[in-house]
Amino acid sequence: MNELDTWLEPVGDWYKNRKHDQVEWLEPLILTPPDALWGPLITDEQSKGIACWLDGCLRIFTFYRNSNQNPHHQEKAYQYLMFAYSKLQAVCCDTRAEPDLQEWCTQRVQHLCVLALEFANQQQGSRWLQESEKLIESHVRFMTSQSQNDDQGSVKHQIH
């Protein structure tokens, strides 16, 4: 059993046991995925793993976003969203990664950006307005550097 399979086992257990409200059990798995999760090659295990990892990030984000117990939970929700965003951006930039993996990550990065902007716009205070502006600027720069952005927001591939 390789490192990815070893990681997928408790993730699968988490799903099977329907412990979706037990974020404290999921967080360590999401924060410590194996390197093979990020490619560069697509395998069945890698594909399942990266999808489960992203789903886990989004479940943790949702848990903290909907939690009113602690005022810092909104910040923590946003941090998990940006964690997923940054990890998938790194795969997009990995020249060793298979093009289909890069494409999958690019699409998810765009969705995460929209989700982050929606989240920030629902928050109170000038800090979140600044965060939105910063995210828009950095996302446009990122997509431009990837040569995959057009005015319609669709993804294009260019061969260099």
Q: Where in the chain are the domains? A: 3-145
> Given a cut of 70, is residue 159 above it in pLDDT?
no
pLDDT in tens, 37-93: 999 999 999 999 999 999 999 999 999 999 877 879 999 999 999 999 999 999 999
Reported as a pLDDT band with limits 50, 70 and 90, residue 27 is very high
Residue type present at position 124: Q
- Measured on CA atoms in the order 84, 64, 128, 153, is the torsion positive or negative? positive
Structure confidence at residue 81 (pLDDT)? 98
Pair 86, 30: CB distance under 8 Å: no
Reported as a pLDDT band with limits 50, 70 and 90, residue 20 is low
Task: Say how far apart CA 76 and CA 90 lie, in whole Å.
Answer: 21
Mean pLDDT of the chain: 88
pTM of the model: 0.86
Phi and psi (nearest 5°) for 157? -105, 135
Task: Say how far apart CA 32 and CA 27 lie, in whole Å.
Answer: 9
Reported as a pLDDT band with limits 50, 70 and 90, residue 24 is confident
Reported as a pLDDT band with limits 50, 70 and 90, residue 154 is very low
